[in-house]
Amino acid sequence: MLVSPVIVIGTPRSGTTVVTKWLMDHYGVIMELDGFTTINERKGLMDTREDKIVVQLNTGLNIGEITKKHYKYHMRRYFKEMKKKANGQPWGFKDPRLTHGLDWVIKHFRGNLTIIRTKRRADLVMRSMIHKAGFTPEKAANTINGYNNFFKRVLQYPGMPVIEVLFDGSRKMPDNFVKSFNQSLIDRKRLLER
């Protein structure tokens, strides 16, 4: 049921990193081509589980540093290399910065991909953004609203089933992932069989 590429998206601090790790550990999904990025949080360096190449391309596109043509060219090369590296295993990537590029990625694969969206209560995301990532309350609120509006717009493609993994508490427990993820897989299967 996990059709490659498996793309993990979600508001920052909503559990995208943990879901990516879980997909790698439990489903053997290949999620990077040439290493992950790290960020320097208050407690030190943290592995984001975000592919360096994807982060660079999406950041460049979002801030206008690269053109859409440049983005498409390099993402196509990335997809080709990832498919080769995966050698028949499921593969994908995670990047909360995939805002300007997701529309094109969906069209490129003609909807034949797996999108996993992490969701978490807005107050918990906001608290985590402020205390763990150093966001101001205003920046956190604007970020959450911006992402939610983006997801509503892009993920309304006809027949585009999105697997949603819901975090209903402040502690990210693997059992919650498994339950929510497995239910989403069942729901997706039903949707595709209609």
Domain limits, the chain:
6-176
| Chain centroid offset of residue 49 CA | 10
Determine the Cα–Cα distance for residues 181 and 151; give it in Å rounded to an integer. 19
Average model confidence (pLDDT) for the chain? 84
What value does the mean pLDDT take over residues 102-111? Answer: 89
What value does the mean pLDDT take over residues 125-135? Answer: 87
- Number of neighbouring beta carbons within 10 Å of residue 6: 22
Of 181, 161, 48, 57, the residue nearest 118 (C-alpha)? 181
3-class secondary-structure state, position 114: strand
Query: What band does 175 get if pLDDT is binned at 50, 70 and 90?
Result: low
What value does the mean pLDDT take over residues 158-165? Answer: 75
What value does the mean pLDDT take over residues 37-42? Answer: 61
What is the per-residue pLDDT for 137?
A: 94
Is residue 120 pLDDT above 70, yes or no?
Answer: yes
Query: What band does 186 get if pLDDT is binned at 50, 70 and 90?
Result: confident
Query: What band does 67 get if pLDDT is binned at 50, 70 and 90?
Result: very high
| Chain centroid offset of residue 7 CA | 5
pTM over 0.95: no
- The single residue listed with the structure tokens 């596109």 is 61
What is the per-residue pLDDT for 169?
A: 57
* Fold of the 6-176 domain: Rossmann fold (3.40.50)
Is residue 19 pLDDT above 70, yes or no?
Answer: yes
- Among 101-105, 121-125, 150-154, the least confident range: 150-154
Beta bridge partners of residue 92, listed in sequence order: 6
What is the per-residue pLDDT for 171?
A: 53
Is residue 135 pLDDT above 60, yes or no?
Answer: yes
What value does the mean pLDDT take over residues 177-185? Answer: 72
Query: What band does 174 get if pLDDT is binned at 50, 70 and 90?
Result: low
Query: What band does 173 get if pLDDT is binned at 50, 70 and 90?
Result: low
